[in-house]
Each structure stands twice: as C-alpha cells, then as structure tokens.
Amino acid sequence: MKLDIKSAVHTFDSDFQPKDNSSSEGKLDVARCFSLIFLHAGCLGVIWVGWSWFAVWVAVFLYFTRMFAITAFLHRYFSHRTFKTSRFMQFLFAAAAGTAAQRGALWWAAHHRKHHRQSDQETDVHSPYTKGFWWSHIGWIASPKNFATDYDEIKDFAKYPELVFLNRFNKIVPILLGIGLYFFGSWVAVSWPGLETSGWQMVVWGFFISTTVLFHGTQTINSLAHIFGSRRFDTQDQSKNNFWLSLITLGEGWHNNHHYHMHSTRQGFYWWEIDPTYYGLKIMSWLGLVSDLKPVPDRVLEEGRKRDSTS
C-alpha cells in the first residue's frame, strides 16, 4: 500500500487519475480506498450513540430504498438499458444511488458492462474463480487499477454533463446524506424526544451502518452469486440463481437468469421468482415515470421450463 498526494486528490475527484493503471493490479492504495475504510470504521460509533428503534428502522428504510436505486437504475438502466426514462429521472436516481457510496453511476455501469463480456475469465476484475472470494467481494473495488471510469464503455450516458459531474465528484451526495441525517436526527430529538434518538445516532445508523450493510449486500452478487445456487441455463460463466440473495438485493439473486439474457428488465423470469425491483419499476411505469420495460422473450421462458422439467 502507498499513500501519495495524487491518490488523496482522487478520493474527491475520481477523474484525477491516468487511465492506464495496469501496474497497480492486485495492489491496494490506502488513500484511494479511504472512503471504504472510513465507512466501516464509522459503524463503531454505535458504541457511543447506542440504538433506538427509530434509528434502526431509518437504517432499514435507507438500505432498501438505495438498494432499489442501485438495482433498478445502476444495473438495469445504466448498465443494460432495459427500460427508458426521462433525463430528470435518470439524474435523480443516479444521485439517489450515489448516496450508497459505491462511486458514480457511470463508473458502476462501465465496470458492469465489462463484467458481462469477461465474466469469470482472467480479465474479469471480480471473479471469485480467478482471483478468490475476498478479492471478488471487496478487494477489487479498493484497487487503484479499477478506480478510473472508462468513459468509452458508457458513451451513451457520458454525453450528459450532470451525470459526469455526479460521477466525477461522487463523494458529494454521500456527504450531503450524512449531514442531512444529522440535522434530521437533531430535529426529531427535539420534536419527539420519546423516540430516543439524536443527530449522531442517526448518522451512525442511517449512514454508516446502513451503507456498510448495503455495500456488502450489493457485493454478494459479484462473489456469492457465482458460487452458491442453481444453474438453469448454460452460460459461459459460473453465475447462479440464489433465492436468499434475491431477497437481500431485491431480485438480483436470479443471476444465472440475468447472465443468460441480460436485456430483460425482469430478472426473476417466472412468477415464483421474487423480483421486488421489477415490481417497483412496473409501478413506476404505471405512473409514467419509466417506460418500455423489456420483457423476457418467450423462447427464453420456454427453454427455461424445459430445463426445469428435466432437472
């Protein structure tokens, strides 16, 4: 590990970095993964602020609302364009997903597009088969090799300056969330003292704990969803369908389905495969907020039924 001024600057400006970092493969940089370390360390604040049911439920609420922003927009919209929405809505949800401190929407989607072309091959940056479980789960995101945004991969969205701004200065929205939670908790403490919360308690639970759990929930799809589960479709990787992961990630656990046909909005292909993100997008389509949700092709559904009947 090494600490330098350029790495420290990059902590706040994600584009302050040369694109070629091939020599950094497999290495970690303290300054460049500072936010990740800070995020986990902040959870220890619970020792001093304690807990309340109000703070716990705020943490749960923020976990699931931000998981929806990640799965619906960072993944199904920005990465795969499985539905359409307005410029305002794409900005709004890019900002909402940005509060999860998983870097910018363009960085996220560019890496994910590469992942689908290289899944579980040597060039896949987060395969548990080629680089090990811990690297696939957390190490890859802390490597300077993977910090740059490859804008060539995401030209369709890089043409929007507001998305580039959010991507480049991706620490802004998480910081604003933390500040907002502090003032919200302080206001609740004065207005409803019976809820037994405070500004700092709200920061620890609503930001640090919720965001840390959210990070690991998201990363299970890179790591666990390629190790544990069942395979309905023959794909060139080791993607699996996992019911339990679909619960904590709002439908992303149907990973083998997704790797077989990535262009469908729905990842739980059949009615019994729970996909809350799809249900949420369906409601949004009824309200006119999104449109043109791409269905699972009949040929894919029929092939899946045949495989299920013979397994």
At 5, which helix (H) or strand (E)?
helix 5-10
Query: What gap in Å lies between CA 292 and CA 283, rounded to an integer?
Result: 13
How much is the pLDDT for 152?
A: 93
In this structure, the number of other CB atoms found within 10 A of the CB of residue 302 comes to 10
Helix or strand or coil: residue 137?
Answer: helix
Query: Please, are residues 262 and 116 in contact by the beta-carbon 8 Å criterion?
Result: yes
Q: What does the DSSP 8-state code read for residue 293?
A: P
Which of 109, 203, 207, 101 lies closest to 151, judged by CA?
109
What DSSP letter does each residue of 41-83 carry, written as one string? HHGGGHHHH---HHHHHHHHHHHHHHHHIIIIIIIIIIIT--S
How much is the pLDDT for 34?
A: 77
| Cβ burial 120-151 (10 Å sphere, 16+ → b, else e) | beeebbbbbbebeeebbbbbbbbbbbbbbbeb
The two structure tokens encoding residue 151: 């804008």
Block means of pLDDT (10 residues each) for the chain, 311 residues, are 52 61 58 79 96 98 98 97 97 97 94 91 88 88 86 95 95 96 98 96 98 96 94 93 97 96 96 97 98 96 88 66
Q: What is the pTM of this model?
A: 0.92
